[in-house]
Amino acid sequence: MARGQKHKLSESYVGGNVVNPRGAKNAKTQEPTVLLAKDVYYEEGGLQRVYPYFHRFATHAKGRWVGRTIYDVFTKEFRDRPKAYYEMAIEKGIIEINAETVSKDTVIRNGDLVTHFIHRHEPPISTQELRIVRETDDGLLVVDKPGSIPVHPTGRYNYNTVTKVLEMKHGHRALYPINRLDRLTSGLLLVGLNPNIARNIERDLVAHKIQKEYVCRVQGEFPEGRIVCDQPIRVIAHKLALNCVDPTEGKPSLTEFEKLYSEDGHSVVYCRPKTGRTHQIRVHLQFLGFPVANDPLYNNEEVWGSAMGKNGALPQLAEEPETHNAEIKRPAKMVGKCDGDQKNDSWKTLVKRMEDWKDRQDMIEHVNECVGEKGPDVCDKCSNPVLPDPRPDELCIWLHAWRYSGPGWA
């Protein structure tokens, strides 16, 4: 699809309702329209894409907003976009108060409903099919999830998610995901079609009655035999999805590993997690010194330093790399912040290195946008640069959920 080509999803659909973003006050009186998959998805350049669309965010005025202009609130409270964007959005009626268009100088009053119709550009995902492996009579859906697609709507992803694809392409509207896989992880996913089956299997998961089995490709020559890692795992920073082994503050975790074979400096390893901590397999493999070979987070020397987290080693202050991003400023409350214990400088250093690495990726994207004589490709609806497509190696990691088994089933 050519950039800027008109499509009814980008022009008139907001959350399933036909809405003119400049006349949003009439949205509640219009009949909801069911979207079809062809209205939402298209394939281009080997990726599944979503037509850009307006999404309605609405909130009642917060106390600190009262008495300030709408322009002042948006430019100071929501700094993810330039001031020029907010000028344009107010002028075009994309930002409203009480379903009415306003000017930059309009003052927010107590009880006002502030609405922003954000033009969303969802990241593309793999065109690999989201395949239904099995559907049981009692309402269990077993899905083969490709890497690159998150399970639930989150962040920049809404339609390019497992639940939305199952709804739009397979007609399953009542869905109760039972377990979750990381966006970059592929493999089998359990989804309930009714709350009873979901509740029953979730109960068995909590009681450790269900065995999960994975296969992965790790860096290095993994040792022979059954290897057990029982190191406790702690969430270091929720907002960064950063986890680490922590013998004192971590939660009990246990994973069994066994090498299947090795070749070309990598090993294919069979994994049996006995607990369900976030990133458990990836963290335990890193601790053992054999991280998932293409893991952008736990096999990343820029974040973890030369020891790469082996045996729980953390980067030291003296090992901090040059960030080359002094112009990028984060809110003070986010700089080097880690969850829980704030006294451990090693945790703070790790979080700061992670933030700096993410900033460098953002800078690389920005530079890539500006390459060429014509400059970046800019959306004609919101004036934001269109981000570059992910590379094939950024769509998945080599970790696959292979098999589940429970009482009387597999």
Return the active site residues: 182
Length of the chain: 410
Q: Which residue has the tokens 């089998």?
A: 188
Number of H helices, E strands in the chain: 9, 20
* Cα–Cα distance, 140 to 175 (Å, whole number): 10
Percent helix / strand / coil, the chain, rounded to 5 = 25, 25, 45
The CA distance from 314 to 310, in Å, is 9
**Beta carbons within 10 angstroms of residue 265's beta carbon:** 9
For residue 336, what are its two tokens?
A: 């080097």
- Who's near 373: CB < 8 A, 6+ residues apart? none
| Nearest by Cα to 122 from 55, 38, 31, 190 | 55
First to last CA, the chain: 43
Helix segments in 289-344, DSSP class H:
301-304
Which residues on adjacent β-strands are paired with residue 189?
143
- 388-397: burial string, b at 16+ Cβ within 10 Å, e else: eeeeeeebbb
CA distance 102 to 91: 8
